[in-house]
Amino acid sequence: MTTAEWSGQVFGRPEPCVAERLGFGPGHIVQEIGYDDDCDDGVRGAIEVFTGRELVDEDYENAVDVVLLWWREEDGDLFVELADVVIPLVRGGAVVLLTPKAGYYGCLEPREIRDAARQAMLTPAKSLAVAAEWVGTPLRLAKELR
């Protein structure tokens, strides 16, 4: 599938590719953490097509450009996980946090995401609806860590 095919319609209106909107780039190595049966395969596919690479899993041991973190409220302490996932990032790397939308099981309050991100020295950008049940929040390393 081509990038153009993934760009199409999102919620009835034309949108750029979900991967591009979240800050992924061509050639990025993306480590996926927290994958489960409830994850959106369309989002995963869009990222793979846009970057031109397959997602690497939690066992990948080299540096990565982006960590794709699927997170639900019952998964534990978000701050602890964010502090761990920044370790393999290359300079200027980012975390893309995907959480269930408000009203769906496992959703988090925006305040919870902001607080955990800031404690982990990450700066959250505006959250984006990326799928019917998922919202994505790009998190960049704080300026002093870039």
pLDDT at 3: 39
pLDDT at 91: 84
110 Cβ contact partners less than 8 Å away, ≥ 6 residues apart: 127
The per-residue pLDDT string of the chain (146 residues; one tens digit each, 9 = 90 and over) reads 443 444 444 444 334 588 998 999 999 999 999 999 999 999 999 999 999 999 999 999 999 999 999 999 999 999 999 999 998 898 889 999 999 999 999 999 999 999 999 999 999 999 999 999 999 999 998 765 54
Q: Is 3-145 assigned to CATH 3.40.50.150?
A: yes
pLDDT at 144: 59
pTM, 2 dp: 0.87
pLDDT at 1: 40
Instruction: Please state, in angstroms and rounded to a whole number, the distance separating the CA atoms of residues 97 and 92.
Output: 16
10 neighbors 18 (Cβ within 8 angstroms) = yes
End-to-end CA distance of the chain: 34
